[in-house]
Amino acid sequence: MQSENPPFAGLLKGPVSRLRRMFASPGPTLVPQGGAVDYWRFGMAFAGCGIKAGDVVMNTLSYHLTPGGFMLDSGLRSLGCVVIPAGTGQTDLQVKVASSLKATGYAGTPSFLRTLLLHALDANVPLHFEVAFATAEMLPESLRAELEGFGIRVLQGYATADLGVLAYECAEKNGMHLQPECIVEILDLETGKPAEPGQPGHVVGTTFDADYPLLRFATGDISALAPSAPCSCGRTAPKLKGLLGRVGDAIKVKGMFVRGSEIEQVMKRFPAVARFQAVVTRAEHQDHLNYVVELQPGASVDTGQLANALRDTVKVRGEVSIGTVAANAPRIDDRRVWK
């Protein structure tokens, strides 16, 4: 609709002049920023992370075309923090700036925080980070542990370029509390009806923003609501259990959901595997799952052992065969034809 009638398909209420900023992200999608001070509602998420007024916080999400940088910036400013708009890249310079400006807070991807910390260690530059808000990518517990080894408290938030923040961790680090100003629902992947707590489903969000209302906006992410239980932090908002994968990356094989991310988890434990693809076919009304695995030059792997490890995690039996896999091949190739 936007490409036929740019910029906002005639859906913007009132003239463009009422907006504060406009972005092009993700990809060709045009996104307006309305007038509210903390337009994407990040203040609560940062507060949950222990960031407070007067903190000097380095913001390393991009300020260029995408709203990420401004999302974090406006949330931090709403709390009264002093923001260093570092953006992406220039690791060497960022380390020096964070050190001289004595930043105690970090906001951005956990992988870039790791890059900064290791670079500072190498260059023998002292950093003063005490707390980090991780977002925009997965935060594996192994990475969190490594970052916390530097004496930094690391909590994460879940946001999208369209909806802003949807959920954030409290000090319990056990699931993410829903941000109550965005209505988050988890919809069953097959029926589209609200999924029971504990059951995975598609995350959709609703905001009644006057400039950019979104109704059941589909994020493409899969998550599950944690069964309701009081949280020791005192918040009563329900929790998301974390991100479980992407819609489209999860398919049903032999009645079970198979996710590319789960397969990848297992493959990573086998260093001999260079690339892989799970190929799903169907014959005689039976699903068949075959993992095609391309090995590192000169490496070998016990295919039986790999198949067992995959079955333990993926919960569906499949065969492993050695072959070649294209560099950009999707993790799952569903070749089933349904008639």
CB of 286 to Zn ion, least distance (A): 45
Which CB sits closer to Zn ion, 6 or 227?
A: 227
Which long-range contacts does 207-211 make (Cβ < 8 Å, 24+ apart)? Answer: 207/163, 207/164, 207/181, 207/182, 207/183, 209/34, 209/36, 210/13, 210/34, 211/12, 211/13, 211/18, 211/19, 211/32, 211/33, 211/34, 211/35
Distance CA 78, CA 41 (A): 9
Amino acid letter, 170: C
Decide: helix, strand or coil at residue 186. strand
Distance CA 59, CA 47 (A): 15
CB of 226 to Zn ion, least distance (A): 10
Candidates 15-23, 166-174, 277-285, 326-334: pick the segment binding Zn ion (CB under 5 A): 166-174
Distance CA 202, CA 293 (A): 29
Candidates 151-159, 171-179, 197-205, 272-280: pick the segment binding Zn ion (CB under 5 A): 171-179
CB of 235 to Zn ion, least distance (A): 5
Which CB sits closer to Zn ion, 114 or 173?
A: 173
Strands (E), the chain: 21-24, 30-33, 56-59, 82-85, 105-108, 131-134, 153-160, 164-169, 176-178, 183-187, 201-207, 214-225, 239-246, 250-253, 256-259, 273-283, 286-295, 319-322, 332-334
End-to-end CA distance of the chain: 32
Candidates 19-27, 94-102, 227-235, 250-258: pick the segment binding Zn ion (CB under 5 A): 227-235
Which CB sits closer to Zn ion, 11 or 229?
A: 229
CB of 167 to Zn ion, least distance (A): 11
Which CB sits closer to Zn ion, 121 or 233?
A: 233
Distance CA 180, CA 176 (A): 12
CB of 143 to Zn ion, least distance (A): 21
Which CB sits closer to Zn ion, 53 or 171?
A: 171
Distance CA 88, CA 108 (A): 9
Candidates 169-177, 205-213, 259-267, 273-281: pick the segment binding Zn ion (CB under 5 A): 169-177
Which CB sits closer to Zn ion, 148 or 172?
A: 172
CB of 179 to Zn ion, least distance (A): 13
Decide: helix, strand or coil at residue 43. helix
CB of 323 to Zn ion, least distance (A): 47
Which CB sits closer to Zn ion, 66 or 135?
A: 135
Candidates 28-36, 168-176, 272-280, 311-319: pick the segment binding Zn ion (CB under 5 A): 168-176
CB of 133 to Zn ion, least distance (A): 15
CB of 279 to Zn ion, least distance (A): 42
Which CB sits closer to Zn ion, 36 or 237?
A: 237
Which CB sits closer to Zn ion, 231 or 280?
A: 231
- Return the residues of window 6-65 that contact Zn ion according to CB under 5 A: none
**Binds Zn ion (CB under 5 A): choice among 235, 241, 254, 311:** 235
> Under a CB-based contact definition with an 8 Å cutoff, are residues 154 and 173 in contact?
no
**Binds Zn ion (CB under 5 A): choice among 147, 152, 165, 170:** 170
Radius of gyration of the chain (CA): 22
Distance CA 307, CA 33 (A): 49
- Return the residues of window 172-201 that contact Zn ion according to CB under 5 A: 172
> Is residue 231 part of the contact set for Zn ion (CB under 5 A)?
yes
> Is residue 233 part of the contact set for Zn ion (CB under 5 A)?
yes
Interface contacts to Zn ion, rule CB under 5 A: 170, 172, 231, 233, 235
